Amino acid sequence: MKHYSLPFSLIKRMESFGILPDVHILTVLINCFCHLNRVDFGFSVLATILKLGYHPNSVTLNTLVKGLCLQGNIAGAVRLVEDMEKSGYQPNDFTCGTILNGLCKIGETDMAIRLLKKIEEKYFEPNVVFYSTIIDSLCKDRLVPEALNLFSEMRSNGIQPTVVTYTCLIQGLCNFGRWREATTLLNEMTQRKIMPNLQTFSILVDTLCKEGMLTEANEVFTWAAIERLPTFERLRSSLFDNNGDVGGTDNKGKRVIDVTKLGAQERHLFIEKLIKHIKRDNLHLLRKIKNKIDK
């Protein structure tokens, strides 16, 4: 449990014993003020650091940058970074990543893209987190073509996407009903040995069900079950037939259900049928391997 107010009394006790806090302890104090939404007090502590003759380090200044961004004061964070540079401090990946994330959260994706270019030209090579943050923001802004272009640019720069990057794009494509492209990305993930997570599968199953592509949804769902058995809380929807069976060979009698609302008996049936499908698919795979060996 985080007790951000506790360090204040501890520092006062230190001072009562004649022990002056150093820059590291004062940085902790700044962090506490920032988390208590009192960045102004954090700057007062910065003034104390300077008054005591200490030199604030990058952690001190990054803490204030983060505090300003948490308040939505991105302009203030940018000004602080500019002042840091004038004093000889070089922004690092934490500094830039914090501001990028802050810009995306307030919907200033264009500014985030410009900052990304500046980082690349002036500071260092942006990492996959930077790109993924902006790709996610573009998708949320319904600018999926721009997100796909940035995705291509990222890969052309030799930066490999992660499951987060792919999932953001899959979500963006699915929001526009572009499930074919989304499933293509899913296949690409597996080819690149990037394991889709439950959110990835959940997005696709949900979209395919809404599009009426029940057979395709069932295939994705079965794949998810084989790769990693989903929990009821994390996978939103699945396919049941009217007799309570999972899966099947056609869409007749299928209905979309919310697995989080299943009763105990239905849950038991659900797991039982999932295991049955997994065993069937594994047996089918083993037979294919055996046939190849026999040839």
Residues 26 and 55 in one domain: yes
Question: Are 19 and 74 within one domain?
Answer: yes
Reported confidence tier of residue 203, pLDDT bands at 50, 70, 90: confident
Q: Please calculate the CA angle 199-202-204 and round it to the nearest 5 degrees.
A: 115
Co-location of 42 and 64 in the same domain: yes
In percent, the amount of the chain with pLDDT more than 70 equals 66
pLDDT digits (tens, 9 = 90+) for 92-147: 889 999 999 999 998 899 999 999 998 888 888 899 999 999 999 999 999 999 99
pLDDT of residue 172: 93
Distance CA 65, CA 78 (A): 8
Split at pLDDT 50, 70, 90, the class of 258 is low
- Determine which of 185-194, 202-211, 216-225 has the lowest per-residue pLDDT on average: 216-225
Q: Domain for residue 97, yes or no?
A: no
CATH for 27: 1.25.40.10
The conformational region for residue 68 under phi > 0 = left, psi -120 to 50 = alpha, else beta, is alpha
Last residue of a domain, one of 38, 55, 88: 88
Residue 77 and residue 14 share a domain: yes
- Specify the pLDDT at position 54: 87
284: helix, strand or coil: helix
Positive or negative, the CA dihedral 210, 214, 216, 217 is positive
Give the total number of structural domains in the chain: 3
Q: Write out the residue range of the structural domain in which residue 245 sits.
A: 198-295
- Is the pLDDT confidence value at 197 over 70? yes
Would you state the torsion angle of the CA atoms of residues 146, 98, 81, 8, taken in this order, to the nearest 10 degrees? 160
Q: Which one, of 113, 64, 125, lies nearest residue 89 by Cα?
A: 64
Name the domain boundary from 26, 61, 88. Answer: 88
> Among 88, 117, 149, which residue terminates a domain?
88
Residue 96 included in any domain: no
Mean pLDDT calculated for residue range 21-42: 87
Q: Are 186 and 206 contained in the same domain?
A: no
Note whether residue 93 is domain-resident. Answer: no
Q: Do 131 and 177 reside in the same domain of the chain?
A: yes
Amino acid at 77: A
29 pLDDT above the threshold of 90: no
**Is pLDDT at 235 greater than 80 in this prediction?**
no
Q: How would residue 154 be classed by pLDDT, with cut points 50, 70 and 90?
A: very high
Q: Looking at the domain assignment, is residue 168 inside a domain?
A: yes
> Is residue 7 included in any domain, yes or no?
yes
Q: Read off the pLDDT of residues 124-138 as tens digits, 9 standing for 90 and up.
A: 889 999 999 999 999
Mean pLDDT of 71-86: 89
pTM: predicted TM-score of the whole model, two decimal places: 0.67
Q: What is the pLDDT of residues 260-275, one digit of tens each?
A: 566 666 666 665 665 5
Backbone angles phi, psi at 59, to 5 degrees: -65, -40
Q: Is 142 found in the same domain as 155?
A: yes
* Separation CA 236–CA 263 (nearest Å): 15
| Residue 280 shares a structural domain with residue 220 | yes
